[in-house]
Chain A
Amino acid sequence: MNRPVVRLDNVTRSYGETTALAGVSLTFHRGELAAIVGPSGSGKSTMLNLIGTLDRPTSGTVEIDGHDIATLGDQELSALRAMTIGFVFQQFHLAAGLSALDNVAEGLLYTGTPLAERRRAARSALERVDLARRIYHRPNELSGGERQRVAIARALVGSPRLLLADEPTGALDSRSGDTVMALLRALHADGTTVVIITHDREVAASLPRQVQVRDGRIVHDSSRDRVPAC
């Protein structure tokens, strides 16, 4: 339980004059479920992108699943994303021309898994998000909540150790949002480390750990209330 899946050490990310993230240190252990909250422009997405290895820090160290990403090249970073990290985005990012099944199967495309096996895994992933009866629907034939569930299925189809969600309920009504949150909780219950950016205070409060960000700094981390930083 105590092996860190994510470790940020004094991480800074600047865009020219703007500093999106200023010296952030943060650790997520295996099996954690955490919310990142904060006002717009505070650096939440920047942080999540760094954790997801989609971006590199200007300074500081990012360690994911034990790998210092500064030492990894494009090929290894890509492998890390393909096998260890799953992403869920606010805008779903589904391919319009593909069925739900094939959208989910794309989640395994870059792992080198053969198509038949990808589809088999996609089918069971869609069953997990309760969309077994929608597998041949295209995104435009699905509701917003269903689309996000397809996106979650795509993120979990490769059984990633770490799931990152950037405002997964931001584009959904509250009922669909609740379903999506329930799914993410279930994933966490199965052992996945889940980190969720959310604007919704209620949602954030319902999660075991909240990390509050403002102006590129962590202003509050609920885990420090109980466990002193080690």
Chain B
Amino acid sequence: MTMNEPFIHLTKVRKVYRKKDAEFVALSDVTFDVAAGEFVSLVGPSGCGKTTLLKILAGLLPHDGGEVRLGSAAHSFDPSRDIGMVFQQPLLLKWRRVMENVLLPAEILGLPLRESRERARELLSMVGLAEVSDKYPYELSGGMQQRAAIARALIHDPKLILMDEPFGALDALTREKMNLELRNIWQTSGKTIVFVTHGISEAVFLGTRVVVLTSGPARMADDIPIALPDKRTLEIKTSREFGDYNRRVYRLLGME
């Protein structure tokens, strides 16, 4: 995309889980770059090491070989402040109202409360939850809870958003809707997003690139730039190009 150094640089990343006497190679030879502001979909069968890779990116797990570099000369990276995470479950705190849930990272980082509240309000209206900011999580639908989780991931204005199958627990219709919204959020916020999914069409629809992993142990099968129009509408899903990308990923995953 640019001539600049990449924002995320992964070379031959390897991860081995060790248990007493057994070793399990979870990642082997993962190599790809992510430019600042990109939306990279990471797709692969379940158990292929996607979560493992995301945890390594988040600095939650050490890797056993290769190189992992985050940040560049042009885009500094502070590991404590520049990561926002969204998981498959919303993981909202039951005893906090939506607004207070969104504020959690700001509290942990000790950010000024008044500005954070202001920002939380903006984020909540961006994800369409302005009306329910005073409600408790149990009063929200699954989709709304996941939107709150996305707002929470953005509250401290991180540069990198790591999403681990964030829409995997939602019904198909809500999922479609969330895809459109996430694409919008990405375009307006300019964040770098690494989005893990095992949904192939979701990966193609959202990503500027799709990185395909295969299992046993996870290797990179391909790294596909997605040249679909910037404005992704539902019509794109019926286009020929979209179908071609999907087919390509299916083939890489040995499903054809």
Q: Are A and B part of the same complex?
A: no
Chain B residues engaging chain A, CB cutoff 8 angstroms: none
Chain A residues engaging chain B, CB cutoff 8 angstroms: none
